[in-house]
Amino acid sequence: MRRVTWFTEIGRGDVGLVGGKNASLGELITHLGRAGVRVPDGFAVTADAYREFITDAHLTERIREQLDRLHQGAALAEVGSAIRAALLAAPLPSTLEDELTEAYERLGLEVRRTDPDVAVRSSATAEDLPEASFAGQQETFLNVRGRAAVIDACHRCFASLFTDRAIDYRERMGFDHMAVALSVGVQLMVRADLGGAGVVFTLDPESGFPGAVVVSAAWGLGETVVSGQVDPDEYVVFKPLLKDPALNPVIQAQVGAKRRKAVYATEGLTRTVDTIPEERAGRVLDDAEVRALAEWAVAVEEHFGCPMDIEWAKDGPTGALYLVQARPETVQSRRHGTVLRRYRLTGTGERLVSGIAVGEAIGVGPVCALASPVELERFPTGAVLVTAITDPDWEPLMKRASAIVTDHGGRTSHAAIVSRELGVPAVVGTGRATAVLEDRKQVTVSCAEGSEGRVYAGQVAFEESETDLGTLPETRTKVMLNLADPAAAFRWWQLPADGVGLLRMEFMVAHQVRVHPMALVHPERLSPEDRRLIDELTSGYPDRTDYFTDNLARGVARIAASRWPHPVVVRTSDFKTNEYARLIGGQPFEPVEANPMIGWRGASRYYDERYREGFALECRALRKVRDETGLTNVVVMIPFCRTPQEADRVLTEMAGHGLERGRNGLRAYVMAEIPSNIVLAEQFAERFDGFSIGSNDLTQLTLGVDRDSDLLAHLFDERDPAVTRSIDSLIATAHAAGRTVGLCGQRPSNDPDFARFLVAAGIDSISVTPDSFAAVKHHVAVAERA
């Protein structure tokens, strides 16, 4: 009988012998070491050894008796406690203790340490399979030292096969309790207590977007990340560009609060302590380390042939990175089919708290705030579970909840993982839900608004829609998306769109950056209060302007990655002066205009001494996306360009900041939204590669109608002959010059006749919001058949 076997002797074909966790570790060590992947050495106590223990101690019938009591109505907690007590009361076979001792001593000799510190982890024989996830249901012990402690930890792992949550899960999934056995992994510890640790997904765990590697990271041992005790850093890497060493495909680096960390205890195993301010404000990993983990993760994914959920650790003394666990991702990878289900709020309500959205659904129900798990009958089905953090003991309650809200945790916390698997919307890491949300009060939990989850007071109206992607027709005319929120970009990756026809930079500046770019260049002109706010936002940036370019570049990159390699047309900032003034530090740099709609906006700002330095930051961010990240599908579009001479000045400014039309495949478009763009289309076509019709501005300026005027609303009509003839004329002139023409606007989504007109005129592309995509695709297909 093989009671103990080394990781180097096993692989993924040995799940029945050593469980999924240990089999994966053996596979990593044996096959991926050549790719530079580091995995701490160790050994496994086999499932055969577990079965020998159960048989020799005559435990089989005692376990069956207790499970029969469960099926007859006995309480789960009572049954689980009785089984675990029986297993712990029975001694381990002496042969197993001897082989465990011999292997542990050999491990110490390998690292030249007596009583080396090890991690002792359970590994169930039905665990970590693509069709099931037992993660977190059995025990793990960190910083275990000495022969007696290792034997005791293995014994406790055996008993943990019958934790309440494990019994409940097997009942729900239809696994035979007696057919599942337990192996135990004993692995050298990485001194992550002096470094950091976290989790890597080889796809986006919320949307299933396969082009991303998502890395979470916190200081100290990884148990705080998995349990949800901390709000970790989150980094996103774009997979397709990883192979080019000259590029930096890190498209997101979000610093989490990281208020606590797990470290070694002087007595016992581990303890949790507060982090210092520098740790909370700083990144756990730099871009090079994030990239290294992503490269390893992709190698693991390619080897296993499926998306993976991986745990990593960073050794504090040496700075070396290690992979310590790898398992198949079991939520998004099981979602097949062509139906895209989406939720959308149609009403409004007072926002109470916000955090990280898990899933993309909406849940409504009364708040049930709990400090610890309670009996099922005390938790009403359909309630919103509100608590500080969850662990596997909460799972029976979580299955009954309409939504889950926690104070702490990130996207790889227990609450997030289980919510995803159950299909229950969750908002984690709110910081204050237990203090703010009142028991029995109705709330609406929305995860349908991007990566930020929100909890609203009362029952806010919402709608649910389904799109069968398999029924969408093919069209000659390109149908593209209007996107502005980087957080929501991955949600729409399954839509068969031809790219992004309009990415509004000003949305990102307003929501992600929040600071007027000139305020970062000239802080001496700011009020004390604005200076204080900007100091807080730009903390950690020696050069404040890097705060603007980094945040803007990463926002653009996330959207560009979501549609790669299709074009993503980024419109440079098109705030009006009154809107610019509302940014932090904006007022000293913006004049008060009587009519900002046709005032100092768009192209006229970019070469003006009062904003040139701000435009330089915009260009720097876009160049970073294209040249450093490698997302060359980004197209730059200039708004509100009044004359060809103005176009020349803007293009000269762009070239001076590294955005030269034609270099590295850069294309430059111009918005066609002013009558002069139509009248002088031939001259504009000499300077730009394409046009995008802004139908709202073109209509108001052609008809002389203020689009915001209620008094003139009856005159505002994109189908007015003056407007449609302008569109016809532009398309004919542009095509004659070999230039493309698109339209970004909502009219084609709710007006099939307008879509038919555009198709008949020869429009090259139509760009609409994602929720209108399916309707427009059908309208265009009908028009093309006419």
Catalytic residues, by residue number, are 414, 744
Rounded to the nearest 10 degrees, the angle between the axes of helix 721-736 and helix 695-703 is 120
Q: Which residue has the tokens 């590295």?
A: 664
Rounded to the nearest 10 degrees, the angle between the axes of helix 752-761 and helix 773-785 is 60
351: enclosing H helix or E strand: strand 351-358
CA distance 227 to 412: 8
Q: Give 215's strand partners.
A: 200, 235
CA distance 178 to 197: 35
Burial of residue 442, with CB atoms counted within 10 A of its CB: 0-12 exposed, 13-18 middle, 19 or more buried: middle
CA distance 68 to 191: 44
DSSP-derived letter for residue 712 is: T
Q: By C-alpha distance, which of 639, 611, 653 is closest to 517?
A: 611
CA distance 11 to 9: 7
Amino acid at 148: A
Cβ atoms of 28 and 300 closer than 8 Å: yes
Cβ-based neighbour number of residue 57 at 10 Å: 16
Helices H, strands E: what count in the chain? Answer: 28, 30
CA 413, distance to chain mean position in Å, is: 13
Rounded to the nearest 10 degrees, the angle between the axes of helix 47-56 and helix 60-71 is 90
216: enclosing H helix or E strand: strand 212-219
CA distance 22 to 363: 38
- Please give the full DSSP string across 732-744, using - where no structure is assigned: HHHHHTT-EEEEE
Evaluate the omega torsion of the peptide bond into residue 528 and state whether it is cis, within 30 degrees of 0. no
CA distance 193 to 458: 43
Q: By C-alpha distance, which of 134, 124, 122, 125 is closest to 173?
A: 134
Buried b (16+ CB within 10 A) or exposed e, 570-591: bbbbbbbbebbbebbbbbebbe
Cβ-based neighbour number of residue 260 at 10 Å: 18
At a CB cut-off of 8 Å and minimum separation 6, what does 91 contact?
A: 57
- Please give the full DSSP string across 87-125, using - where no structure is assigned: HHHSPPPHHHHHHHHHHHHHHHHHHT-SS--EEEEEEET
Burial of residue 785, with CB atoms counted within 10 A of its CB: 0-12 exposed, 13-18 middle, 19 or more buried: exposed
CA distance 189 to 140: 12
First-residue to last-residue Cα distance in the chain? 75
Q: Give 629's strand partners.
A: none
**Alpha-carbon torsion 512, 517, 523, 529, what sign?**
negative
β-strands 478-483, 500-504 pairing: parallel
At a CB cut-off of 8 Å and minimum separation 6, what does 23 contact?
A: 10, 11, 12, 13, 14, 15, 17, 123
Q: Which residue has the tokens 């945040």?
A: 551
What size, in residues, is the chain? Answer: 786
